[in-house]
Chains A and B, each alone.
Chain A
Amino acid sequence: EAGVTQFPSHSVIEKGQTVTLRCDPISGHDNLYWYRRVMGKEIKFLLHFVKESKQDESGMPNNRFLAERTGGTYSTLKVQPAELEDSGVYFCASAGRGNEQYFGPGTRLTVT
């Protein structure tokens, strides 16, 4: 089966610009997660979708971040406007029934 895919693999934008990251989960996985790793620190949870509904968005840093999962398939994470501290690697993961999450390759975001 195809794994979790993310696009783009790398994005470089200027402070104040907008960036949209995309995640395609494993087909049939209802659970979709976004995580972020900033500057070599620990990987931190951002939010969790079950199908198209936000189950937990307690990790979203502020209202400049907007996640959507229309139709319960792929998800997008938009950062608008981007700030320097948003730089990092954004991971997406998906899971079926149970607690085993499968990760995508990540999107490296650099805000200059």
Chain B
Amino acid sequence: AQSVSQHNHHVILSEAASLELGCNYSYGGTVNLFWYVQYPGQHLQLLLKYFSGDPLVKGIKGFEAEFIKSKFSFNLRKPSVQWSDTAEYFCAVISSSSHYNQGGKLIFGQGTELSVKP
């Protein structure tokens, strides 16, 4: 069965520190990969996605993620975090073999809560 593992449940950083959140997935086929973010009191928002092509993808707010197929990983990075990055971050995977117009279910990791101290 497909699964997604996020390495850290809670990360605490000071402003300007660098961030890397780990994400590994288990699935034998081709996948689409996502990072979602939920800021306090807000709904889940897409941070970035990987479908194909350049394995280094850039998202909103200075975030980026690198897809390493050999390691089944899709780690999220940001060189310098801000207090406003305090949120919960979710890695998710979907099988890209789903029919184009019929989508498929997202498999989520457990989530990583990021607290940034001002």
Contact = CB atoms under 8 A, between A and B. Distances in A.
Interface of A: 3-4, 30-31, 33, 35, 40-45, 48, 50, 55-56, 58-59, 91, 93, 95, 97-106
Interface string B55-97: 0000000000000000000000000000000000010001010
Contacts of B105: 33, 45, 48, 56, 58-59
Given A31-B102, A55-B102, A97-B100, A42 B108 contact: yes
A108 B94 CA distance: 25
Given A56-B104, A103-B43, 4 more contacts: A50-B103, A91-B43, A99-B98, A100-B46
B27 interface: no
Contact of A104 (B43, B90, B96): B43
Contacts of A91: 43-44
Contacts of B4: 42
Given A31-B103, A50-B102, A91-B44, A99 B51 contact: yes
A41 B103 contact: no
Contacts of A42: 4, 108-111
Nearest to A31: B103
B107 A99 contact: no
A48 B100 CA distance: 14
Contact of B44 (A40, A99, A103): A103
B79 to A, nearest CB: 26
A43 B101 contact: no
Nearest to A44: B108
Interface string B1-35: 00010000000000000000000000000001000
Contacts of A35: 106, 108
Nearest to B103: A31
Contacts of B44: 91, 103, 106
Contacts of B104: 48, 56, 99
B110 A97 contact: no
Contact of A99 (B90, B94, B109): B94
A67 B46 CA distance: 25
Given A41-B110, A43-B90, A100-B49, A105 B43 contact: yes
